[in-house]
Structure 1
Amino acid sequence: MGRQRERRAAPGSGRGPAEGIYDIDTGTCELVKDRYLPDGWVLEVNGVPSSHIDLADPTLLEFEYMRWIAQLLESQRPRDERLRVLHLGGGACSMARYLAATYPNARQVVVEIDGRLAELVRDWFDLPRAPLLRIRVGEARAVLASLTDATRDVIVRDVFAINRTPVALTTVEFTRHARRVLDAGGVYVVNCGDTRDLTTARREAATIGSIFEHTAIIADPAMLKGRRYGNIVIAGSDAPLGQSPALARDLLGGGVPAQVWTDAQVRRFAADARVLLDAECRPPATVPADEVATG
């Protein structure tokens, strides 16, 4: 039998997180207490684990791929920099919360399509307030297309519908928008979920490589050898990526050791893959990009 619904609750209680199943605009989410960390919580959206938060430690990233993204960014940008970060995909804002703690001068916007989920997350978790962190409700592509050129230093794409990123957020046309919005030396980094055949990862790498001069990939060796389903971090920039020896060492030291591929390796990996085009998907719906809970 499936898991029984424990409770329904309305947002806005102001009492912090509480276990239960909650109605959101796109279905339901479930907040589950971490049994091993006294202040830890797991957020599931429509039955799929989406985020982990430790209220006592914003620098704790339980999901491996998030640690890889953080390590890549830290190898590229000094921690005293006033980073301008755009997160496409919100969840519990784990990565935004981490960057707020490690880059205290950062200014961040999180784009989340589900307005009710955004309200709940603001209610549950200790998120920085505007202007340090704003949550903007809207569809990721529509919001990205509306932004001014050269206004971000980092764009993180971590958007999933069940277990796949919508194709409209992976195409050449979408990636051109990301490149346009990034300032010189900016980093575009995506969380790519793929199966053992690695078709999606190869096509995403080819697509990002067609727009950016430099690319990098981070994943664990088993994933890159096609032995399991999992996450691959793919990044693009007009500056070299992933060349820090310290990054390679740090990636080996995690709970799931990972390796970094720099541009030449990424391009060999994606050599025979077709880039992704808008023609392969229907145009995304345009959702008004209102701001909520901006502090």
Structure 2
Amino acid sequence: MADRVSFEWDERGGVTVVMDGQPQSHVQPDDPTVLVFEYVQHLALAIDTLPPGPLAVTHVGGAGLTLPRWVEATRPGSPQIILEPDAGLTELVRREIPLPRRHRIRVRPVDGLTGVRALADDSADVVVTDAYAAGRVPAELASAAYVLDVARVLRPNGLALWNLADEPGMRWAARVLATIRLHLPHVALVATHEVLKGRRFGNAVAVASHAPLPLERLRRDVARAPLPTGLREDAQLARLGGGAKPFGDEGEQSPPPPDAKGWRVR
């Protein structure tokens, strides 16, 4: 494990967790509300559209536990479950970047598909899928079977979020969006303009729900985002998908990332 994971500290006191040569998380221990990776900002932006107060959040993928720390800082007392199969990574992160005191963050050493299947119906206000293996989203987390279980666990007005990394053209992401719509009919996509316009490999956040999305709030917050950010919804999203075919129960892993260090860092 030690040769696969490194912690790179910067001059501002932040630390990037790097695994298998890919940056996995950035944490600002003294202020967990500071979010450096652009896609994490977009995940937080979506969660902020939910009513104030604690939220029951399930995170598929742990790494540096950046988003759970942010949720605890902004919504104290939120019960959070993290499904992270790499117990060695979790142990290293806890040791190098300790969690805040009196948190309600619980890490379970299981993979996302197995862990979500074990959760109760209607048990989560938010389900965040942000898991990578060798820089790629595992196939099972893009599958129809996985989406079905996420939809089962998600409360009627909750949000399911996916961090999707794709090449220009976003053909793989379009198929994931089509798969999500099988069980969660209300879907939108948030990403920087250069990713949405196909100018580079990058991350986009899918936002999905059983209920209509808070699009007015999303539009307003996207317009205020630190980086030029766009929202695709309804007809715009349909054009992006171009009749993409949903994945079946096996899914398909995301395309490999480019060999350029820091491609997900602002």
TM over 0.5: yes
Aligned residue in 1 for 2:7: 31
One-letter amino acid of the structure 2 residue matched with residue 32 of structure 1 = E
After superposition, residues 53-92 of structure 1 pair within 5 angstroms as: 53-75=27-49, 77-80=50-53, 82-92=54-64
> Following TM superposition, by how much is the alpha carbon of 1:160 offset from its aligned partner in structure 2, in angstroms?
0.8
Once the 2 structures are TM-superposed, how far is the Cα of residue 157 of structure 1 from its aligned partner? Answer: 0.3
Q: Deviations over 1:54-85 (max 9, x none)?
A: 1110100100111111111111x1222x3110
Residue type of the alignment partner of 2:7: L
Paired residue type of 1:183: R
**Structure 1 residue 230 and structure 2 residue 206: aligned?**
no
Cα–Cα, structure 1 residues 165 and 130, in superposed 2: closer, same or farther, change >3 Å? farther
Structure 1: state its 5+ residue gaps. 1-22, 283-295
What SS is found at the alignment partner of 2:121? coil
The answer to whether structure 1 residue 215 and structure 2 residue 205 are counterparts is no
How many residue pairs match? The answer is: 253
Question: How much has 1:260 moved relative to structure 2?
Answer: 1.4
The 5 A counterparts of 1:123-202 are: 123-128=95-100, 132-202=104-174
- Deviation per CA, 1:168-189, whole angstroms, max 9, x where unpaired? 1111111000000111111110
**Percent identity of paired positions between Structure 1 and Structure 2:** 33
Gap change, CA 1:143 and 1:280, over 3 Å in 2: closer
User: Residues 172 and 278 of structure 1 are in contact (CA less than 8 Å); yes or no, is this contact kept in structure 2?
Assistant: yes
In the alignment, structure 2 segments of 5+ residues that lack a partner are: 254-266
Q: CA deviation at 1:253?
A: 3.3
Q: Tell which structure's C-alpha radius of gyration is larger.
A: 1
Q: What secondary structure, in the 3-state scheme, does the structure 1 residue paired with 2:159 have?
A: strand
CA–CA distance in 1 between the matches of 2:151 and 2:238? 18
1:254 alignment partner in structure 2: 225
Q: Does 1:47 align with 2:25?
A: no
Runs of 4+ aligned residues of structure 1 deviating over 4 Å after TM superposition are 279-282
Q: Which residue of 1 aligns with 2:243?
A: 272
Please, what TM-score do these two structures have when normalized by structure 2? 0.89
State whether residues 144 and 251 of structure 2, in contact with CA within 8 Å, keep that contact through their aligned partners in structure 1. Answer: no
Structure 1 residue 268: deviation in Å?
Answer: 3.4
